[in-house]
Amino acid sequence: MASTGCSAFSQDGQYYAFCGNDGKLKIWETASGRLKHEYTPNRHLSSPCSVIGWIFVSPQSAGNVSPSPRKRRRRKSISEQVDRKAVVAMGSMSGKITLYDIAAASVSTTLENGHSSTITAIAWSAHAGLITAANDYHIVEWNLQENGIKCKWKSGKAKVTALAIPSNGKSLLSAEKIIKWWNLTTKQLIRTFTGHANHVTFLHTIQIDSATSYLISAAHADNHLSVWILDKNKNDKASIATLAIQDEATSISILVAEELQVGILVTTQSGQAQLFKYQPNGHTKPVKPSLNIAVAADINQKETVQQIPILAGHLTEDEKLLLAYGSYFNLTFEKVMPDFSDKVQCLIRSERLDTKKSKERKEEAISKVKPTAIEEDVEYLAPGIQVSTQKRNRTTSGSQLLLKDRLENLSLNADANTPGRTPTKGANMTQLLMQALNSKDKTILTTVLFTKNEAVIRNTIARLPVQAIIPLLKELTIMLQGKTYANKIAVMWLQTLIMTHAAHLMSRPDIAEILSPILSFIDAKLALLTAIQRLKGRVSLITGQISQANEEHNKDITEESLLVYQDPDSSDEGADKDDVDLSSESDDNWEEMSDQDVQDEHDEEDNKSVKFDDDDVDDNESIHS
């Protein structure tokens, strides 16, 4: 059975493989602690390694042919042990599986067309061969002899996160949140095991005898291991035992002793290892570890002791503990004999030893470089060589410089010292943005992302590493769902991010899943666009009519003149003469009365009035008489 994950020991503990975020495969030799192989696959950034597992290819298992019982006894001969080749199976996010041969230090085979998404689990058995699972909800059984697919079936409605093959190679165990037990011959489900709330991360089988087998499982965020019995006739819903651990498990190694006692070595995220001595005997209470192992660094013999994290552990055939501790930049391997006199075994390791080992490795690498033969005195500089420099005398004026002036004098701020150039803030904003994304600090994120300067946004995104693109997209998705101001700024960042890193985004197989929240948000906004445009048009018509009415009212007021004054001058007189000439031309169309006619009319009216008065006097006299 192959150990799965991005780091794993080989079955014999001779090698340790690790694949980091950069997609590079590193293989150490545990006996010497030296890095033996480093392989960089194609498209290691766009499609990095998602899971690795160790397989040992032998003439019997190369073609997935199950050997006869007589050949099984001969399989342990020395000649066949030498012929078995250690191979690392690397599953990628693109669905491909790469087989890296340790002996040849090259890729032997690439298995394709089996999965369409990220590989999530790898299992191997000398009898069943290589079996993989992926996010496409399928399990594939491979034929290594023909480099093709032997069988493929659907695992269920959830992605498989762990696989295990019992020692007989006749069945398969796959795990989501539920553990399923399959018959490899018929591909039918034998039974299921339920009990984990989260997805399972590790599956290991234990063969006690020819008729008794057990299964050990570990899940994400669980502080215990579950033990199940593999019996077709029993249908126990609960696990028969649980092993209590401090934190989530990062690696599990199992060894069955001659006394039918099972040794289980577990490393946790807290950086410690726990050793269990478990005797399967039915249902028991939670089992506590028999020994806790921790590694500490004695820094210059000070009072404070710093813990060195244990990254992985392996139980060897001589019942020793093979521990890998430190960091992947300076990894240390050590075989430890467990001491059960106390419940806690603390290993004090001086930091000077690690420094000395790393220095020896650097000097060895430097010694392999052949220097150029030059007769003159030449000083060679290489990484790891200490160069003696003359100590500068600090003047009083230099020590009194402000911190701002000192920062401007650094080479990191060379643009500020160059006359005629303005310093770009892209690098500073990039570091600040990366710090905010890693620490999830809302204050720093608000300070950086609410920047409206397009030049700063372009410089920041241009210097942004590819590892920070997806976290930034998630933060911008949250901003898009906010108010109008935050939405507008998020669109500016999102547009620049997609234009700058379009090639990387297109190369990711999960691009549809990443951009689906943004696309759904855009669709929701577009659904309201028609109604908003209609409302905008109506408001524009109303405001246009109101503004036009105000303009006409103001125009009427301004066109009426309150006072007109004309100054009589020579130009006006000339204009009057012209008016008289023009009016004389139209006299024929008008009938005007002369002054004499007017006087005659006035005389006639006077005579009539006198006559009227005389008549009134005569009438009055006649009345009196």
* Residue 282 φ/ψ region, left for φ over 0, alpha for ψ in the -120 to 50 degree band, beta for the rest: left
Which residues fall within 8 angstroms of residue 221, CB to CB, at 6 or more apart?
Answer: 198, 248
Final residue belonging to a domain, choices 526, 541, 560? 526
Final residue belonging to a domain, choices 352, 385, 413? 352
> What's the pLDDT at 525?
80
CA distance 433 to 440: 10
Taking 70 as the threshold, does the pLDDT of residue 551 lie above it? yes
Q: Please indicate, yes or no, if residue 598 is contained in any of the structural domains.
A: no
Q: Please indicate, yes or no, if residue 175 is contained in any of the structural domains.
A: no
Q: What is the pLDDT of residues 531-549, one digit of tens each?
A: 888 898 989 999 988 988 8
Q: Please indicate, yes or no, if residue 476 is contained in any of the structural domains.
A: yes
Q: Does one domain contain both 348 and 429?
A: no
Q: Please indicate, yes or no, if residue 439 is contained in any of the structural domains.
A: yes
The full 3-state SS of 467-485, as one line of letters, equals: HHHHHHHHHHHHHHCCCHH
Using the structure block, give the residue that is written with the tokens 């992926």: 134
Using the structure block, give the residue that is written with the tokens 């759904």: 520
Report residue 17's pLDDT band, with 50, 70 and 90 as the boundaries. very high
**Residue closest to 222 by CA, chosen among 201, 192, 252, 207:** 201
Token pair listed for 328: 């992947």
pLDDT over 70 percentage in the chain: 70
Q: Does one domain contain both 518 and 429?
A: yes
Using the structure block, give the residue that is written with the tokens 């600040």: 432
CA distance 78 to 566: 131
Of residues 349 and 334, the one with the higher pLDDT is 334
> What's the pLDDT at 357?
54
Taking 50 as the threshold, does the pLDDT of residue 365 lie above it? no
| Least confident among 158-167, 473-482, 578-587 | 578-587
Mean local confidence (pLDDT), 46-61: 78
**Residue closest to 493 by CA, chosen among 479, 506, 504:** 479
Q: Does one domain contain both 348 and 430?
A: no
Q: How far is CA 299 from CA 54, 296, 306, 323, 355, in A?
A: 36, 9, 7, 21, 12
Tell me how far the alpha carbon of residue 379 is from its chain's centroid: 46
Question: Whole-angstrom distance between the N-terminal and C-terminal Cα of the chain?
Answer: 164
Mean local confidence (pLDDT), 241-245: 93
> What's the pLDDT at 574?
54
Q: Does one domain contain both 428 and 520?
A: yes
Domain that holds residue 514: 424-526
Q: Please indicate, yes or no, if residue 458 is contained in any of the structural domains.
A: yes
Q: What is the pLDDT of residues 500-518, one digit of tens each?
A: 888 888 888 888 888 888 8
Q: Does one domain contain both 346 and 429?
A: no
| Under 8 Å between Cβ of 127 and 169 | yes
Taking 70 as the threshold, does the pLDDT of residue 372 lie above it? no
Mean local confidence (pLDDT), 285-313: 84
> What's the pLDDT at 70?
38
Q: How far is CA 508 from CA 44, 135, 193, in A?
A: 11, 14, 35
Q: Please indicate, yes or no, if residue 274 is contained in any of the structural domains.
A: yes
Q: What is the pLDDT of residues 185-199, one digit of tens each?
A: 999 999 999 989 999
Q: Does one domain contain both 345 and 430?
A: no
Backbone angles phi, psi at 565, to 5 degrees: -125, 130
Final residue belonging to a domain, choices 481, 509, 526? 526
Q: Please indicate, yes or no, if residue 267 is contained in any of the structural domains.
A: yes
Q: Please indicate, yes or no, if residue 305 is contained in any of the structural domains.
A: yes
| Least confident among 2-6, 39-43, 223-227, 376-380 | 376-380
Q: What is the pLDDT of residues 386-429, one digit of tens each?
A: 444 444 555 444 456 667 666 656 544 444 444 444 444 444 57
Taking 80 as the threshold, does the pLDDT of residue 76 lie above it? no
CA distance 622 to 614: 13
Q: What is the pLDDT of residues 132-159, one digit of tens each?
A: 999 999 999 999 888 899 999 999 999 9
Mean local confidence (pLDDT), 354-376: 46
CA distance 54 to 161: 17
> What's the pLDDT at 46?
75
Domain count for the chain: 2
